[in-house]
A and B are shown apart, each in its own frame.
Chain A
Amino acid sequence: MQEIIVYTARAIHTMNPSFPVARAVAVRGDRIIEVGDPESLRPWLDAHPHRFDDRFRNHVLMPGFIDPHLHPSMAALLLQMDFITAMDWRLPWQNVAAVRGQNAFLDRLSEIESALSDPDEPLFTWGHHPIWHGNIERETINSVSRSRPIIVWHRGFHSLFVNDAALSWMGLERADIERHPQIDAETGKFFETGLALAFRSINPYLLAPERFADGMERLRQCVHHGGHTTIGDMAIGIFDFEMEWAQQLESLERDDTPFRVALTPFASSMAGGDVGPERVDEIRAYQARNTHRLKFANHVKMFADGGLFSGLSQFGEPGRIDGGHGEWMMAPEIFEKVARLFWDAGFQIHVHCSAELGLDLALDTLEKLQWERPRFNHRFTIEHLGLSTLEQVRRMADLGALASVNPNYIFELGYAYWQNLVGFERASQMARGASLIRHNIPTTLHSDFTMAPAQPLNSAWIAANRLSEQGSVLCPEERLTRDDALRAITIEAAYILGMENEIGSIRAGKKADFTVLEQDPYEIPVADLKDIPIWGTVFEGRIFPLGG
């Protein structure tokens, strides 16, 4: 039998409220044998060969962080691009310093452009935001380069600007774009259905095997650097199920990958069509593919309304300031039918809900299903929880729904929704926190990466502080406590993925997954949570320092 290794640390926050803090953890192979202090561990240590390892004596151990909802395939696309952003971004291979102002944006773009050796290689940049960078239009981008295709992607993903070289690279005639109602030929802006015309050329390029593999490798590094030991791919198959599966198998199922992936397929498809019972069998059969790190389980992803970033959410009364309308990702009748199919098959259903009416649809459906065929421990999960009412929170509790919240809406969209879409009262209460805890709703936080940085401490920081990008505090009443915010990126996240018996806290019998921190998140000011340096991780008993 392998020898037991006892790691001692400055503090071990177990996230087990009945045994909250320890100084030592005994690990054998990939499992935790016991948590406590060197004295309390004696019975195990006296009985088995062991050694002490004090390399973490100045560090703080947490359970390995878990982000239960992000999108590796989208990340693999985005991470191929050069970031020019209004906020600092810490990427494993680069610290991207904030760039603000139009001139600074163009200077940075020129710098990136001149560093490229191949004169024909298209340049993709992500992070442009008119609030911070002004308008970066066709002629402006032409001034950076007339010959190299340059694509400037909006930070929120719902539009892009290109130069003339990019138009010809995309094979588009001037006449095509001039007649398109959602492409502005003058400014080079593509939006909504116009984007489909851009993706026609962009997707095959970025999804080409070598580039996609390169993007997935970058995703692998980002996940490690965020301190994760488990992530949830909450919609594998965004571009192409088999292609994404094959790439994850190749890029992530490797001995040196320090995390596992819980894979959740679409109940039907991205397009939200109808399916029959054969789809249940098909999804169950995915589990036969499970490997050490990549795992399917009885989980499916469904969609209620359109996203908050694209402005296509379904709002409740009194709607939007501008009178605009949202979209249903699935027809409500089909939503109910497909949900019933998987509910009756015993699945855990995760529903993307952006605004009040979308949430109503999910809860009306859940109530109906509960009436028809009551289930305990069904873990029906509301994903994102953008806009909601307190009455809906109470109803979630009544029906046993769980919450997986994207707190980045507060930081990134709070101000814009306040000013332009729904006003202060509703915008400030986006992405709830404290009210969910008050109703005993298991609550986790996610990044929805690429929608927010894949950094659980950043998610916890937003949820505990509720600062908008512009610096306003939005609804301090909904702030999570420090402890709830940290539970949300560990044990509660494990619960929502149905993996709480294996991961999420540091206790005897669980996987030896730790995130190793340079500072104690229970000692520093809550305002500094996101800045705690991460030393590295321990995944199933193996040590993975960052940059190591």
Chain B
Amino acid sequence: MIPLTIIGGYLGAGKTTLINNLLSAPHGRRLAVLVNDFGAVNIDRDLIAHHDGDTIALSNGCICCSIADAFGAALDKVIALKPDNIVIEASGVADPAKIAYYGQGWPGVRLDAVAVMVDATSIRRRAGDKYVGELVQRQLDAGDMLLLSKTDLISRDEQRTLRGWLAARTVKSPAVDIRHGSAPVDLLLETGNRRSEAAPPDATPDHGRFFTSVLFEDHRPLDRAVFIDELENWPDAVLRAKGFVRFSDDANRAYSLQRVGARCSLEAVPRSDDQPAGARIVIIGPRDRLDTEALSESLRRSVAVGTSALVRR
């Protein structure tokens, strides 16, 4: 099943810019992107290989398809093209949680991530707006992660106030700054966790400034109960975690770990050559807040027997 990422958020939060960047970034993946309105998507003319009514094919293998009035039909159309990932731009007034139902139930796809874009300059005003306040709050609640745009347009004090306001909400989604409408592909999309599928290094300077990606490895299997318990208590700075683990009660089988925000899945997977003997997990989070020591410690506690031999790279 094709992983589905939903980009939500109110009008003006930067969804289209993010999608423009996703379509043109050199990530080497064939993305299918469903957008509400072609007009707003500004694809570099040199990249357009073919334009046919409601579909634009790009020379890098990506496609962009207009939802128009027929969401299901548009989704089926791109599923048939077997892309690596599908990205849906939710309308500014959509509740991303509702679109997520498609990821949970439409044949051929499964929900990967719901990323909600947040305009740092206007979110608090919008959240109190008579017409859209309640909607904007639901959008915040629906995100596996919140991507804060335009934080460079507000003062440090205002940033602190905004962080405090977001943190005080009852439903917490991890929030992270992004610049120029761009976030690491590995963060937004499930990009596979085989070494052979490693994407070209992310050279976007803003990504290095705001995000970090850390690899944890151990050659020994984990204790299932301890690890699941640890997983539940990981800090919200873990925006995405992916990898393979083995458990001591079933060490012949590798499990694929996929965690986006607070949503997590652990699934037994067929044997393949690049599975580790123990655990290998990549964690992506904000550079300034991802406490790698605490995460190392958490994994060390999960190892079934003996002392730690965790390697951090």
Contact = CB atoms under 8 A, between A and B. Distances in A.
Interface stretch (B100-108, B153-161, B261-269, B271-279): B100-108
A273 B102 contact: no
Interface stretch (B63-71, B144-152, B212-220): B63-71
A182 to B, nearest CB: 6
Contact of A332 (B95, B102, B106, B132): B132
Contacts of A314: 131
A173 B11 CA distance: 37
B107 A172 contact: yes
Contact of A199 (B72, B102, B107, B138): B72
A42 interface: no
Interface string A345-361: 00000000000010011
A276 B39 CA distance: 10
B37 interface: yes
Interface in B61-89: 67-69, 71-73, 76
A507 B10 CA distance: 53
A332 B69 CA distance: 19
B92 A181 contact: no
Contact of A271 (B69, B72, B73, B132): B69
A274 B105 contact: no
Contact of B132 (A173, A176, A328, A360): A328
A173 B107 CA distance: 8
B3 to A, nearest CB: 15
A179 B91 contact: no
Nearest to A274: B37
A368 to B, nearest CB: 13
B135 interface: yes
Interface in A373-425: none
Contacts of A180: 101, 104-106
Interface in B1-55: 10-11, 36-37, 39-40
Interface string A178-206: 01111100000000111011011000000
Chain A interface size, under 10 / 10 to 19 / 20 to 34 / 35 or more = 35 or more
Nearest to A173: B107
A270 interface: yes
B134 interface: yes
Contacts of A242: none
A182 B93 contact: no
B72 A196 contact: yes
B11 A192 contact: no
A527 B134 CA distance: 43
Nearest to A304: B131
B195 interface: no
A355 B106 CA distance: 32
Given A196-B72, A200-B76, 17 more contacts: A179-B104, A182-B105, A183-B105, A192-B101, A197-B106, A200-B72, A269-B69, A272-B93, A274-B40, A325-B134, A325-B135, A327-B135, A328-B135, A329-B93, A357-B130, A357-B131, A360-B130
Task: Across the A-B interface, give the 3 residue pairs with the lowest CB-CB distance, nearest first.
Answer: A180-B105, A193-B101, A328-B93
Interface of B: 10-11, 36-37, 39-40, 67-69, 71-73, 76, 91-93, 95, 98, 101-102, 104-107, 130-132, 134-135, 138
Interface of A: 172-173, 176-177, 179-183, 192-194, 196-197, 199-200, 269-274, 276, 314, 325, 327-334, 357, 360-361
